[in-house]
Amino acid sequence: MIHIEKLSKHYGQKVVLDIPELEIGRGSCIGLVGNNGAGKTTLFSLMLDLIRLTTGRVLISEHLVSESELWKNMTASFIDESFLIGYLTPEEYFYFIGDLRGANKATVDTFLADYQEFFNDEILNSRKYLRDFSKGNQKKVGLVASLIGDPELIIWDEPFANLDPSTQIRLKNIINRLNAPKDKTILISSHDLSHTVEVSDRIIVLEKGALVRDIESTPDTLKELEQFFQV
């Protein structure tokens, strides 16, 4: 699904990311963890062609991200609230994304009905613009909107941040439900080791721009990661 080779990002003399090779197969849920400045958001931004790479290449389903547009038809993401359009209401934003994904309003409404519990009566029919929502509720909108159109590849940066405990649990249930058929590839970055290990099949650890761990999730993975980050 995803092939990365000789990927690096430099800012002047500073190397913020350097990954010689990384393969991510279709149908897996990958947890990307690391301290602040480890390169998690930079990696996602390079994978999504949001910033220009210094060296290397990224392929999604054999499409070169920096040159092709075809990978975009199967990929959805939410990095932060800058992905939203602040002067729209949630409904307007969902319909806008639906239109981009070829889904009419009725289809979007049917889709949104499955996320009523996640929204917790705080999103729809609020008569508020997205810019007036809390960061947590903005995140709810962005995460759900990214799922419109049934994408094959889902990339979420810090999806658990700014969410209350009840919503975090609901989000874990959503991720597990998406991952169950093993027909989607899900990439999640997070500072929350427990949540990330719980939903992921595989954990990738970045440190100072380098890939330092790549392990399958097991009952002992959380303890292993906690020991790693205590050093």
Note the pLDDT tens digit of each residue in 4-29.
999 999 999 999 999 999 999 999 99
Average pLDDT over residues 58-85: 96
- CATH H-level superfamily of 2-230: P-loop containing nucleotide triphosphate hydrolases (3.40.50.300)
For residue 170, give every residue at least 6 positions away whose Cβ sits within 8 Å of its Cβ, in sequence order, or none. Answer: 117, 118
Both tokens of residue 16? 């913020």
Other CB atoms within 10 Å distance of the CB of residue 67: 9
For residue 149, give every residue at least 6 positions away whose Cβ sits within 8 Å of its Cβ, in sequence order, or none. Answer: 76, 97, 98, 100, 101, 102, 103
Domain ranges of the chain: 2-230
Distance CA 93, CA 85 (A): 7
For residue 140, what are the CA distances in angstroms to 78, 89, 137, 145, 161? 10, 13, 5, 8, 11
Confidence of residue 231 (pLDDT cuts 50, 70, 90): confident
- Residue 74's pLDDT is 96
Other CB atoms within 10 Å distance of the CB of residue 121: 9
Note the pLDDT tens digit of each residue in 177-205.
999 988 999 999 999 999 999 999 999 99
Q: Is the pTM of this model over 0.85?
A: yes
Average pLDDT over residues 35-49: 96
Check pLDDT > 80 for residue 119.
Answer: yes
Tell me the percentage of the chain whose pLDDT exceeds 90: 98
